[in-house]
Structure 1
C-alpha cells in the first residue's frame, strides 16, 4: 500500500509539473501579443512659450522678451510595440507666442515694465511623433519621451498697450512674409496609470522649433527666431 501511495504521489507531481510547463509555454506564446496594444485618447493642458535669437542670446543684446501662456489639446494614438516601449502620434491645437516689454522712465531712471507690452499669439496645428520608454510596474509606470514635431500655423493675433507703435516692436508676425510651417524636436516625461476604466497619463514636454518663426532675412544679419514651448498635459486613453 505504501509503495502504491508513493507511486500515486509521484505521478500526481508529474502531472502538476506538466501542467505548469504547459501554462508557462502558453504564457510565453501569448505574452508577445500583449505587448502590441493600441490606445486611442485625448490630451489637454497648458503651458508657456517664448522665442529667442541664438546670436542675441550669445551677445546679450536681446529685447526684453517674456513668456506667454497658452492652451494645448487634441487626439493621440499610442502603439505599444514592447512592454517597455511605445510610439505616440498626435494631432494637437496649440497656442504659442511671445511678449515684448518696453522701457519706461520712473524717477528719471529707465525701467522695464509689463504695463508697456506687445503680445503675439500664434495658433498652430502640431503633429508630434514621440518614442516612449517605460520604467516601473505594469499599472503605474514612469516614462521618458523623445521625438520630433511638425507645425502649421492656423491663425495669429496680437495685443499691445495703445501707446506702443510698430516702430518700437522688435518682432511682429506678418501674414505673407513670415513662415506658416515649422519643424522641431521635443522631449519630456511623466507617468501613466492603467485602471479598469482606461489609462491616465500626466506628462510634461519641451519643444524647440528649428524653422525661424519670422523671416530671418528681415534682420541685417540672417538670424533665425526659434520658438520654444513647455507644456503640461493630462491624457485619457482607451486601450484595445
Structure 2
C-alpha cells in the first residue's frame, strides 16, 4: 500500500514538474529603436519609352516599441517611428547632376512576432504598416535641363500628393535576453502599396511607391 502511494506521489510530482516547465507567462516589453534606412522609389511612367531610374538613399529612423508576447514562440509588436526615406535619381552618364527627394514619415507598423529559442532567440516579424508624411525636401543640382525623350522631368515640379502611405513589412533578426533587458538587431524590408503621386492615365506616373530596407537595434525592458 505504501509503495503504491509513493508511486502515485512520484507520478504526481513528475506531472507537476512537467507542467511547470511548459507553463508560459505572458510578457510585456517596452523599447526604443534606432538604425539606418536605405530607401528608393518604384516608378512606372504613363508614357511609353520614358523611364525614371533611382538609387538607394541612406538616412535614419528611430522610435518606440511595445511588444506583448502572448504565448510560447508568438507575440505582437506595435511601433511609433520617425523614418527618413525618399530617393535619389540615377543619371546615366551624367555624374555632375543630382536630384534627391527626401521624405520624413511618422510610421506605425503592427507586426506578428514569431521567435525560436530562449535567451538567444531568432525571430521573424511580419505585418502591415501605415505612415503619415511629415515633411519633404528636394535637393537639385541639374546641369542639363534640356531633357531628351528618354528622360522624365515631371518629378522636379511635383510635391507629394498622397501623404498617407501603407504597405507590408517583413523582418528577421536576433534577440539576446539579459538581466539588464533584451537587445535585438533586425533587418527589415518595406513594400509600399500606395503612391506618393496621383496615378491617373493623364498623370506622368502610374506607380510611385516607397521601397525601404532598414536595420535597427532595439532595447526592450519589462515594465512590471
TM-score norm. by structure 1 comes to 0.79
Change (3 A) 1:166 1:47: farther
Given that 1:75 and 1:90 are in contact with CA atoms closer than 8 Å, whether structure 2 keeps it comes out as: yes
The one-character-per-residue Cα deviations of 1:120-154 (angstroms, maximum 9, x if unpaired) are 0000000001112112x211111112101000000
The one-character-per-residue Cα deviations of 1:183-212 (angstroms, maximum 9, x if unpaired) are 111112011110000000100110011110
Long gaps (5+) in structure 1? 1-6, 104-110
Structure 2 distance, partners of 1:204, 1:171, is 30
1:215 aligned onto 2:215: no
Structure 2 distance, partners of 1:170, 1:202, is 39
Q: Higher relative contact order by CA 8 Å / sep ≥ 6: 1 or 2?
A: 2
Partner of 1:186: 169
Structure 2 distance, partners of 1:173, 1:198, is 48
Alignment RMSD, CA only?
2.9
1:72 aligned onto 2:61: yes
Long gaps (5+) in structure 2? none
Change (3 A) 1:164 1:152: farther
The one-character-per-residue Cα deviations of 1:88-146 (angstroms, maximum 9, x if unpaired) are 1000000000111335xxxxxxx232x211100000000001112112x2111111121
Partner of 1:133: 114
Structure 2 distance, partners of 1:11, 1:178, is 78
Higher-Rg structure is 1
Partner of 1:152: 132
Q: How does 1:97-116 map to 2 (within 5 A)?
A: 97-103=86-92, 111-113=93-95, 115-116=96-97
* Residue aligned with 2:200, SS: helix
